[in-house]
Amino acid sequence: MKSTMQPYQLTVTSLMHHGARLFGGTSEVITWRGDKARHATYAEVAERAARLANALCLMGVKPGDRVATLAWNNQEHLEAYLAIPCMGAVLHTLNLRLTPQQLVHIVNDAKDKVIIVDGSLVPLLAAIREHVPTVEHVIVFGEGDTGKLGDHVTYDDVIAAQPSTYDWPEIEEDSAAAMCYTTGTTGDPKGVVYSHRAIWLHCFGVWGAFRLDERERLLVIVPMFHVNAWGIPYVAWMLGCTLLLPDRFLQPEPLCAFITAERPTFTGGVPTIFTGMLQYAQANNADLSSIKRAICGGSAVPRALIEAFRDKLDIELIQAWGMTETSPIGCIATPPPGVPVEEEMDWRSKTGRAVPGVDLRIVGDDGGELPWDGRSVGELEARGPWITGSYYGVEAPERFHDGWLRTGDVGVIDSRGYLQITDRSKDVIKSGGEWISSVELENHLAAHPAVAEAAVVGVADAKWEERPLAAVVLRPGAEAGPEDLRNFLDGKVARWWLPERWTFVTELPKTSVGKQDKKVIRQLYTDGKLDVQEVGKAAR
């Protein structure tokens, strides 16, 4: 028996039409310029997106062609988010924090036909321009030195010459809409291609998980070049939320000024961003009171940070988990109903529970599924309608297992379905045949009042095979030594977990998306480039 439902295609185009028609004159897109904001209505943004589509069409862009963006979070980037997939082309966001060599690989691998670039990032593109032969046109918006870029056109001039409407095509929902490259795998960055259907369903997953509606003013701190800013721009457009885009001004001072001026109610970002905002707000009495909730992800969120946002800023900081391959929303950490107030933080500091549409399982070394008992440790695998089943143009069978994505994360799931990631598989510390959770050690260290940030990695040990090395960044003016921090950890973790090796640094190396780059820390240790202090012995 077949249903009587209409064969309605789930596309980004339907989201665009919905947002423009219902909220065109009431909702806004606001871009921060460092000292003031630039406002545009949904209707104005939709019209400019139509003009951009016309311009790209004249440049020869056809369905399936890749159009890249090299840009910060701003109105023009959002116009590209709408125009490119809705005309049947594929939006390819370039991570501006990658090396020139990685960018060359990504552009050539995707065979980008056009690149839309922010004027402030022109030097980055100019440095690789001669090495990306598939790129036929470059469009520049905003101010910048274009002298070394070669042939290009100006964004505003190009779209001003085009009609204000576009004959948007009918698109099949399984068609490619956007693509991002992940650097979380070994070797060259690998492409993940999102379908219109996946984006559409992901929007509904985020809508429910983040509890959003038209009244929200969303500050999108997550870069639009990173997993489509967690899908938040599309969700906001669908719901009619006012979008606040910080452009390149991601340091604590301008971010806090933007918040004070434009009063967002909701935001999302990585722990390092929120740690900086918290420190600046406390030191300068910045007014962040408009924000009621914030999603934090990208790496494990220290419990101390969640508590500080609650106690010092009255902001509900909610931990979420995902990755480029999962579009990215996979889990969100909200306490189950009926939990005593004094236990809420125990649930908030977990990785979270799968959102509807995402299946998770923990798999042992033999490939068999492990029980949800909160004790059985294995690799996390995921599947669902917005989770990739392959990489673009690359065979990577080691990343997939029986139709599931192997995430590379290691952890446990309890009887209520709450996931606790204890490590990345490549970062697991196995000491004397037993596991040590670097994530748990880092979270406890982050709770010490003198510690700004900490990373724990496994290093070779003659007796135990591996032992933890703690790399610590102290807060300005604070003092703490290895013994102080070992004593602080004692009683919070097993005694044999306590690191004997400590190094104090001014900053931790980060990846292109702001995560701790532990392979760099391990290499610095191996090369003897860290000042390491050794105290205590591994207890057993």
Q: How far from 308 is each of 83, 313, 316, 317, 352, CA to CA, in Å?
A: 40, 7, 10, 9, 19
Cβ atoms of residues 152 and 138 within 8 Å:
yes
Q: Which of 11, 182, 407, 503 is catalytic?
A: 182
Task: Determine which one of 36, 148, 426, 430 is catalytic.
Answer: 430
- SS3 assignment, position 403: coil
> Annotated catalytic residue: which of 168, 347, 435, 496?
435
Beta bridge partners of 484: none
> Which residue, 514, 509, 510, 515, is CA-closest to 529?
509
| 430 among known catalytic residues | yes
CB atoms within 10 A of CB 429: 24
- Is 344 catalytic? The answer is no
Q: Residue 537: CA atoms inside 13 Å, Cβ hemisphere, count?
A: 4
Q: Is 407 a catalytic residue?
A: no
Rounded distance between C-alpha atoms, residue 205 and residue 202, angstroms: 5
Helix H or strand E encompassing 293: strand 293-296
Question: Of 398, 417, 414, which is closest to residue 406 (Cα–Cα)?
Answer: 398
Q: With contact defined as beta carbons under 8 Å apart, do 375 and 183 qualify?
A: no
Residue of 325, 379, 440, 442 with catalytic role: 325
519 is catalytic: no
| Rounded CA separation 400/298 (Å) | 21
Gap between the Cα atoms of 508 and 521, Å rounded = 8
**Helix runs in 265-386, H state only:** 271-284, 303-313, 344-348
Please identify every residue annotated as catalytic: 182, 325, 430, 435
